[in-house]
Amino acid sequence: MKARIFDTTLRDGEQTPGISLTPDEKRLIARKLDELGVDVIEAGSAITSKGEREGIKKVTSEGLSAEICSFARPVQADIDAALECDVDSIHLVVPTSDLHLEYKLRKSREEVKIMAVESTEYAVDHGLIVELSAEDSTRSDMAYLKETFRAGIDVGAERICACDTVGMLTPERSYEFYSQLAELKAPLSVHCHNDFGLAVANSLSGLRAGATQAHVTVNGIGERAGNASLEELVVSLYSLYGVKTQVKLPMLYEVSKMVARITGIYLQPNKAIVGENAFAHESGIHADGVMKKAETYEPITPELVGHKRRFVMGKHVGSHIIKERINEMGFRVDQDRFSQIFSRIKALGDMGKCVTDVDLQAIAEDVMGVMAEKPVELQELTIVSGNKVIPTASVKLKIGNVEKLEAGVGVGPVDAAIVAIKKTIADVANIEFEEYHVDAITGGTDALIDVVVKLKHEGKVVSARSTQPDIINASVEAFLAGINKVLSDKRLKESVKD
């Protein structure tokens, strides 16, 4: 079993509703994919627009090791546009099902076969590698499909690809289907969509049946339910079948995060391999097992894919975990105080809340009677906002023994308040906002608002949260809690240095 990886994040992935990448974003992702080690990068569809061509040109001008490919329909204009972008190859896509021929193209089987042949010839004559691809191939007549592929191979198509355009295969059917196409003895690609959640399973079956290359996207993004996911496919190949690809597995998590950030398509936490919960353990028995020996409840190590193990403290949490965490935070607790901390965590769990390390620290400090130090305190906050004024905030903070007053404007009242606070603390520490996340915990407009912020200071990230009925107060309090954390840490370090 062999598998070359043909990545179509920048073409099929970009066809995800709501995604539109700028030329520079395409270049950034392509560089990363090349570093990751994919064999082919389908950088886009050159005919689409001027901006798309600009993006593809940026990719081809990078001098990457991967083959750079453009999507093309079997018409000369598409191939010319690809040539203009200086790609190595085209993914020449020809519909083959009667459904597509009749309703989409309004052409006969014979006419479409001729288009496929003529386009292949034209592209090959102009120095392009051609991967001749059949759209909706899994609902096409097998004899016609083979005939079309054979005709393309005869005029120089180097590879063929059969697309399961609407994700109709099952692993059994996929094996059958690709076995028949493997008889053509040309390098063969599987291209599976995830409408029934089977894209990766079907791709694996296709590869077992003799296909030699798989089309995938990072995070499985793509039209509708998406394409086969790169990370799931390569890790399954490696861990379940012992098949290596050129892909550097330890980069997978990082690449997934990057694509999520740039496309704005974030992952469900339970996404296989790269989801935030892929190596998270909550239940007491599981977490305890993993701490003793990771293999008990983990099929692969998080390090294999550059991810990290995480323990979440909820109502299933075991006392072992909490003890360990509290020790790591540097607290010394006796049995009585530990019981108090433990029962408060369980109580929060029963209320449906998960306890993060931040919360645990706050609870522990509270139980231990440690007054959390507050280098910065809010004295006053005034906001002016509306539809005809520029949102403006003024804040008065007490920093140590000094009172400071500043004002700021922003795109909205929260932004204005944060701008004002940043100005106030500018001399004290250079703190950057990494992330701002808002959740309404209950239903109505009077809901409790939960704000979590991540702040960056001297390369270190701290998170803090605040839960209040008012979104502005919650945001400001979370920001200040984070600032206080940073400053307390800083003071601690400085006092140690002294």
Residues in contact with Mn ion by CB under 5 A are 12
Quick one: 133 or 466, whose CB is closer to Mn ion? 133
Q: How far is the CB of 214 from Mn ion (least distance, A)?
A: 12
Query: Considering the complex, what minimum distance in angstroms separates the CB of residue 82 from Mn ion?
Result: 17
Residue 148 or 361 with smaller CB distance to Mn ion: 148
CB of 95 to Mn ion, least distance (A): 12
Q: Which CB atom, from 192 or from 313, has the smaller least distance to Mn ion?
A: 192
Least Cβ distance, residue 290 to Mn ion (angstroms): 38
Nearer to Mn ion, 6 or 331 (CB): 6
User: Which CB, 12 or 477, lies closer to Mn ion?
Assistant: 12
Q: How far is the CB of 286 from Mn ion (least distance, A)?
A: 37
Task: For the CB of residue 11, give the shortest distance to Mn ion in the complex, in Å.
Answer: 8
Give me the least distance between CB of 42 and Mn ion, in Å please: 10
Q: Name the closest residue to Mn ion (Cβ).
A: 12
Q: Are 138 and 199 in contact (CB under 8 A)?
A: no
Nearest to 202 by CA among 226, 178, 223: 178
Choice between 12 and 25, CB closer to Mn ion: 12
Q: How far is the CB of 192 from Mn ion (least distance, A)?
A: 9
In angstroms, rounded to a whole number, what is the distance separating the alpha carbons of residues 450 and 443?
13
Cβ-based nearer residue to Mn ion, 217 or 245: 217
Complex with Mn ion: residue 105 or 429, whichever CB lies closer: 105
Closest CB to Mn ion among 216 and 287?
216
Q: Which residue has the tokens 């001027």?
A: 50
Closest contact distance (angstroms) between CB of 16 and Mn ion is: 11
